[in-house]
Amino acid sequence: MRVRSVLSVTVLAGGLVLFLQPAGAAVSEVRQSSAVITDVVEYQCTTTGATEKQNIKVKVEMTMPAAATTGEQMSIGWQGTYADGTGLKAPATGLTADTSLYAYASISGLTGLTSATGVGTPGTVDANQVIPLPTAPVSLSTTSSNAGTATVRPAALNFGTATNAPSIKCAVQNQATLTTHPLTVTAADQTGTETGTDTGTEPETEPETGGNGRVQQTPSGPAATGGGGERGPDGRMFLLTGSLLILTATTGLLLRRRAWR
């Protein structure tokens, strides 16, 4: 009888320990994840001083932030490689070492926020040579003052010594077929009244047409656990721990009574 009683207590205690595993343990990886989606973007590029336009295709991989908060700078990852044997050639004058690549993303659905921009370095390129795209990911930065859900697409790709003075401007030709990336911005202060501000600069070469691209969902925000993140430890811990102590004490008394007999 003593062996059966002790065994019962051990089984019950083990079950309670398993039940008390924190619910957020399986959610932590989801909160830190982000969506990575790849598209082949068709560009038509215009070079200052040249009459001939160049048509290129760039395989663009965009990484959405796992979390974005109002009033804080967010970062969208951008990485591009030429596709289908195409490549953008430098003008007859070549590209100087201070030339930068300016990659854009178009954002719709949030008031006052239309784009994000990032800067990469292609390096010095000789005349009529293919301009290399950065091998490292480019971070497209922007800040939203409004909470909500937006959609993001690859946008213009420019080259120059300044954002407002590009020597090569590449505009998207197949925007309507590109994947729409969902972006969720959470309010940092639920009590304040927010207004929209746009930290990006929408390039003039980017067409503003609507799209019917595919939508991929990505997890955003913490999982609903009932109590919320600010209500302290889960009450189940105290309730079940107390039950375990009472059960252990009761079993001990039963064992002692049987031993006296």
> Which pLDDT score, from 0 to 100, does residue 34 have?
55
Spatial CA neighbour of 4 closest among 244, 249, 251, 260: 251
Contact 211, 176 (CB under 8 A): yes
> Which pLDDT score, from 0 to 100, does residue 256 have?
53
Answer whether residue 91 shows pLDDT above 50. yes
Predicted confidence band at 249 (pLDDT cuts at 50, 70, 90)?
low
User: 34: which DSSP letter?
Assistant: -
Q: Give the model confidence (pLDDT) of 169-204 as tens digits.
A: 999 999 999 999 899 999 987 544 444 444 455 454
User: How many CB atoms neighbour CB 82 within 10 A?
Assistant: 16
> Which pLDDT score, from 0 to 100, does residue 114 have?
94
Q: Which two tokens stand for residue 96?
A: 């100087």
Predicted confidence band at 137 (pLDDT cuts at 50, 70, 90)?
very high
Answer whether residue 213 shows pLDDT above 50. no
Q: Give the model confidence (pLDDT) of 37-60 as tens digits.
A: 789 999 999 999 899 999 999 999
What mean pLDDT value characterizes the chain? 74
Q: Give the model confidence (pLDDT) of 55-88 as tens digits.
A: 999 999 999 998 899 999 999 999 999 999 999 9
Type of residue found at 147:
A
Q: Which two tokens stand for residue 129?
A: 């040579």
Residues 6+ apart with CB under 8 A from 193: none
Answer whether residue 144 shows pLDDT above 70. yes
Q: Which residue has the tokens 């973007």?
A: 41
> Which pLDDT score, from 0 to 100, does residue 2 have?
47
Contact 218, 34 (CB under 8 A): yes
> Which pLDDT score, from 0 to 100, does residue 123 have?
82
Q: Which helix (H) or strand (E) holds 230?
A: none
